[in-house]
Amino acid sequence: MTRRDGDNPGARVRFAPSPTGRLHLGSARTALFNWLVARGSGGDMILRLEDTDRERSSAEFERDIMDSMLWMGLDWDEGPDVGGEHGPYRQSERMDIYSGYARRLLEEDRAYRCYCTPEELKERKNAAVGEGRAWRYDRKCLGLTDEERARLTAEGRPYAIRFRVPEGEVTVNDMLRGEVKVNASEIDDFIILRSDGRAGFHLAVVVDDITMEVTHVIRGDDHLTNAVRHVLIFRALGAAPPMFLHHSLLMGPDGAKLSKRHGATSVSDYREMGYLPQALINYLALLSWSPGDDREIFTPGELVEEFSIEGVSAGKAIFDMDKLNWLNRQHMKMLSDSELTDLVIDHLDRSLARDKMEIAVASVRNGMETLADIASQPLDIYVRPAGELSDKAAGELVKSPDIEEALDLLISTLEKHPSNGMATAERIVDDLRREAAERGWKAKTVLWPFRLAVTGSTVGPDLTYLILFWGPGGCADRVRATKRTLEERDE
C-alpha cells in the first residue's frame, strides 16, 4: 500500500519498537509523530520490530504493540503482518543481511575481529576503574598481526566484529536541535556483530534504515548519542544519513521518565480504563507539539492536516492526567448518543431495546469522564420493576409532605400528554412546577416524589430522561405501582 508519488515522494518513516513489553505511552507518541509525518506528506509508515533480545521478546508483546497501534488508528504500509518490498520486518529474520554488511566493513578495514572474552574485558575494565581511568575498549585486537588472528581463528576462538571509529569530528544534523557535534575520540570501537552471529543494535538499525529507504528518523532524545554512531556507520557504508528528529521523552509529573511508579503507562492500560483513542492521540500530539495557536482539540484527520515538524518543541513533555481527562470529555461530547452506546454496550442490559439503551446512555453521559465510568452510573433504575422501592426511597416518600396529593398530581399531569419526546418531557416538568406553585408548594414537593416513584431510587438522571425513557403513560403507570406498594406497606 505505497502512498508515494514518483515525482513527489513523501517521507518514508519507521517505528521500530522492541517487543519486550506492552506499548508504552512514550513509544506510542513516537509512533504517532512518525505516522503524522507519513500521512501528512503522502509517504509511507513502516513498522519494524527490533526483536533481537531473545530472552525478553515475545509474540504476546508483539501482538500488543500492533493491536494498540491499530486501536489508536495508527496503521502502517509495510510491516511484519502486511509485508512489503523491503522485508523481512523483524530483525530476528534479517541476520544474514546484517552479516553481509559486517563482512563488507571488515573487508574494507572499517571493522576488525575482536577475540577478547567477556572475562578479559571485565578484568581490564576493573583495572582501569581502579586506576581512576575512564574505560573504553582499548583496541587490543586492532593491533593483532595477521598471524595472531589466523592462530586465534584456527584455535576456534570466538570473535565479535567491532566498528573501527575513525578520527575527527562527527556531526548529527537534527531538525529539532541543529548540529550536534562529537569528537570521535570520545567513542570506543563498538561491536556491530556479536560472537554468536547476532547483529549489534547500531549495525542492525543502520542497515535496516538503508535497505528500507528510510528518509526520516523520528525518535526519543535518548537515542541522540546513538545517532552519532549511526552517522559513522552510514558514512562507512557510503550512504547519506536520513533526516533526524530527536524529540523529548515523556516525563511524569515529578520530572522523571514516565514509569509504572507514576501509574498506568501502556496504551492498553488506557484502553482498558475507558479512554477514547482519538482523545489519547490528541493528547500525545500536544506533548512537544503546538499548532501555533491556542487550539487544543483535534480529530486524527485534523492532526494529519495541521501537524508539522516545525511545530515540535525540545521542551519537556510532562504527562498531565487532568489534561488527558479533560480532552477525553471533549471527545466524548463529540460522539452521538448512538456512537457512545456502541462503545459501552457491554455494560448495558441487553433486554433493553436499542432506542431505550440510547436514552439511558444519554441520561448519564454528562457524569462520565471515561467509557469505564458507565459502570458506576445509576442505570439499574431502567430495569427496576415498577413499584419496587429501595428502603431509602420508600422512607423518603413516606415522609414527603402532601405525598398522596403529589402522587395524584403526577398521574393526572402525565396523562394529559399522550405523545412523547424531549419537548413533551420538558413541558411536563414545567407543568409540574407550575402546579406546585399554584398550590403554594416548593417544586421539590412534587419533583422529588416523581423521581422516587418512577425509579424506586433516590438517585438518577434528569427527570426529562425518565419521561423520555418510559413515556408519560409509562411513568404514570409506575407512579400508580408505587402508590400500591406504599398502601401495601401501610396494611
What residues are labeled active site? 260
Give the span between the Cα atoms of 174 and 185, in whole angstroms: 21
Q: Which of 421, 396, 419, 420 is nearest to 406 (CA)?
A: 396
Q: How many residues comprise the chain? A: 491
Helices (H), 243-399: 267-272, 277-286, 300-306, 321-333, 337-344, 354-364, 391-399
Pairing verdict, β 216-220 and 243-247? parallel
CB 69 within 8 A of CB 37: no
Q: Which distant-in-sequence residues (6+ apart) come within 8 Å of 440 by Cβ?
A: none
Q: What are phi and psi of 182, to 5 degrees?
A: -135, 135
Give the span between the Cα atoms of 319 and 251, in whole angstroms: 6
CA torsion sign, 463 to 465 to 469 to 473?
Answer: positive
CA torsion sign, 312 to 182 to 208 to 21?
Answer: negative
